[in-house]
Homo-oligomer: A and B are copies of this chain.
Amino acid sequence: MHYLVTGGAGYIGSNLTDRLLSLGHRVTIYDNFSTGFYEFVEAAAKNPNFTCIEGDTLDGDKLKAAARGVDFVFHLAANADVRFGVEHPRRDLEQNTIATFNVLEAVRVNGVQGLAFSSTGSVYGEAKVVPTPEDAPFPLQTSLYGASKLAGEGMIAAYSEGFGIKATIFRFVSILGPRYTHGHIFDFFRALTTDPTRLHVLGNGRQRKSYLHVQDCIDAMLLAVTKAEGRLNVFNLGWDGYCEVLDSIGWICNELDAKPVLTFAGGERGWIGDNPFIYLDTKKICALGWTPKFTIEQSVRETLRWLRDNQWVFAQRT
C-alpha cells in the first residue's frame, strides 16, 4: 500500500510513518515543518519506500499532486494545540477546517480509496456523559480547536456520503510517548528543568484527564482502518481511566527528583475552553480487539524519559 501521511514529520505522524515503513508499506509524508521536525523522520528517510514532500495543507494544488497514485491518506496535519485559540482565532479555521477540505479534495480528485482523520475528544466540549461514548448527546463546542476539528469531521462525513469515500474518524484524548512536543507534560518538564524549586499550574490542578500512549494509538488506528466495516466510522481512542493534573505533576517531580513549591492560577479550568474532565468511552474500538499496553503513569514516565534524552526539542519550541 502507498500511504500519504499529512503532518508526517509531526508527533503522531512520524511515529505512524515509522510503523507503516516497518510493515513494508510505501509512505509519502506531506508536512510544512512548522511544528514537525526533520529529526523525527531522519530514520525513515533512509528507507527507499519513504518520500518527503515539504508542503502546506493550505496549498491545495500541491496537496492534490502529492496524493496522486496514493491508496490511503492519514490526515494528521493540524494546529494541534487546544489552547490559545482566542489569541489567533483564524488559525484553527485555516489549519484544521480549510486544510481538511483541501485534503478531501485531494482524495476526491485522485480517487483515493480511504482516509483517516485525527479528530479530538475536545469535540465533546464539556460532555454531559462521562465516560463519553461516540454517540453522546449533541455537544456544544467550547474551544475553537474542537470546533475546527468538528468542522473537519462534518466535511469528511459529507464527502463519505456524497462521494463514497471510506473514512475513519478518530477522537483522541491527549497522546503521550516519544516525540511528544507540546502540552502540559512538556510545559511542566521544561519549567522544572529550568527551575526545580517552583511550578505554576493553570487551574486548580484537579482537572481530570485521560492519556494514551502513541504506540497504543497507532495500534488502534491501523486496526480500525483494516477491520472496521461500513463506509464511515468514528472511534474514540483513549485509556479507560484518567488521572488528575496533580498526579502527573507527582510523576514528573518523581522522575526529575524535584520538590517544587506549587502555585495555582485557580479555577476548574486551565484556560478558556479547557475541559475539566476528559474520559472517553472506548468500548467501540476495544470491540475490534484492541487493548492498550501502557497505563497512563507508564505513558507519562516514558514521555519524561524521552524528553530528558531529547532536550534539543526545547530549543526549537518557544
Contact = CB atoms under 8 A, between A and B. Distances in A.
A161 B101 contact: no
Contact of A137 (B89, B90, B125, B137): B137
Nearest to A126: B161
A235 to B, nearest CB: 13
A273 B162 contact: yes
B89 A93 contact: no
B137 A97 contact: no
Contacts of A159: 89, 144
A139 B141 contact: no
Given A101-B90, A101-B93, A144 B125 contact: no
Contact of A139 (B98, B138, B143, B147): B138
Given A101-B90, A136-B138, A85 B147 contact: no
A155 B144 contact: yes
Contacts of A148: 154-155
Interface residues of A, number: 43
B161 A273 contact: yes
A140 interface: yes
A96 to B, nearest CB: 10
Contacts of A234: 140
A115 to B, nearest CB: 14
A151 B147 contact: yes
B138 A161 contact: no
Nearest to A163: B86
A191 interface: no
A77 interface: no
Contact of A151 (B108, B142, B154): B154
Contacts of A86: 162-163
Interface string A92-109: 010001100100110010
6 contacts: A125-B157, A128-B135, A140-B232, A144-B162, A147-B154, A158-B273
